[in-house]
Amino acid sequence: SYVLTQPPSVSVAPGKTARITCGGNNIGSKSVHWYQQKPGQAPVLVVYDDSARPSGTPERFSGSNSGNTATLTINRVEAGDEADYHCQVWERSSDHWVFGGGTKLPVL
Amino acid sequence: EVQLVESGGGLVQPGGSLRLSCAASGFTFSGYEMNWVRQAPGKGLEWVAYISTSGSISYHADSVKGRFTISRDNAKNSLSLQLSSLRAEDTAVYFCARGESSSGWFGYWGQGTLVSVSS
C-beta of residue A45 within 8 angstroms of C-beta of residue A34: yes
What does each C-alpha distance from B50 to A31, B72, B105 come to in angstroms? Answer: 18, 11, 12
Tell me whether residues B47 and A98 touch, CB distance under 8 A: yes
Q: Return d(Cα B22, Cα B83) in angstroms, integer.
A: 14
C-beta of residue B88 within 8 angstroms of C-beta of residue B118: yes
Residue A92 in this model has a pLDDT that exceeds 90: no
CA proximity to B10, closest of B114, B83, B118 = B114
A5 vs B: CB within 8 A: no
Q: Report residue A3's pLDDT band, with 50, 70 and 90 as the boundaries.
A: very high
Q: Return d(Cα B12, Cα B107) in angstroms, integer.
A: 30
Q: For residue B91, how many C-alpha atoms fall within 13 Å in the half-sphere facing its CB?
A: 13
Q: Return d(Cα B27, Cα B20) in angstroms, integer.
A: 21
For chain B, which residues score pLDDT lower than 50?
none
C-beta of residue A42 within 8 angstroms of C-beta of residue B111: yes
Query: Which among A41, A96, A99 has CB closest to B59?
Result: A96
Query: Which among B46, B107, B111 has CB closest to A99?
Result: B46
Q: Report residue A69's pLDDT band, with 50, 70 and 90 as the boundaries.
A: very high
Mutation for B interface: A97, A99, A103, most B CBs within 10 A: A97
Which residues in chain A have their CB less than 8 angstroms from residue B105's CB? 31, 33, 45, 48-49, 88
Q: How confident is the model over A37-57, as pLDDT tens digits?
A: 999 999 999 999 999 999 999
Q: Return d(Cα B48, Cα B39) in angstroms, integer.
A: 10
